[in-house]
Structure 1
């Protein structure tokens, strides 16, 4: 876990909101996976287009935000066909909470 990269990733209001929204994807996004040919377990993942729509801003900006969150290991991505789905990396988030509890 790179605490500096995580803090940088979370230092933007939209990036922080994305991580918050993905905590409860069913409450924050429409049903996912409707465009997929077969039933796939998305493990709570949300399509980039749904995240972009909720976040606003340009598609390239939101894609850069998602990339930064993934590099900080706060998000995990999975590709299904031509769509990419993002979900929280609960392992990293738990480690971050433990770090804050013990070190700060």
Structure 2
């Protein structure tokens, strides 16, 4: 779900959201679209999938949705994969 054979976009989004600026403020779908040179609807799809899996949480700032990593959920998923799930 996080990676397809030819594209690791969701993993790259999660990695970017760990960097100091994005980690502190979160990012909008527009910022993701710009950063990864993709159409806005594609960015929204990636972000919504990551949110649905619990890896991202959202906040509202100035009427815009900002996405943030959910470190507890990411650690939980990592532990499941380490156990061979």
Common fold by TM > 0.5: yes
Asked if 1:13 is matched to 2:27, the reply is no
Residues 55 and 69 in structure 2, CA contact (< 8 A), matched pair in contact too: yes
> Unpaired segments of 5 or more residues in structure 2?
none
Asked if 1:24 is matched to 2:19, the reply is yes
TM-score normalised by the chain length of structure 2: 0.81
TM-score normalised by the chain length of structure 1: 0.68
Structure with the greater alpha carbon radius of gyration:
1
Equivalent of residue 55 in structure 1, options 36, 51, 61:
36
Cα RMSD after superposing both structures = 2.0
Asked if 1:82 is matched to 2:58, the reply is no
Shift, 1:43, TM fit? 4.5
Residues 59 and 67 in structure 2, CA contact (< 8 A), matched pair in contact too: yes
Runs of 4+ in 1 over 2 A off after TM superposition: 100-104
Aligned residues: 82
Label 1:18 to 1:25 Cα distance change in 2 as closer, same or farther (>3 A): farther
What do residues 20-74 of structure 1 show as CA deviations (whole Å, max 9, x unaligned)? 1111142xx5xxxxxxxxxxxx854122221111011111011011001100111
Q: Secondary structure at the match of 1:78?
A: strand
> Unpaired segments of 5 or more residues in structure 1?
1-7, 30-41
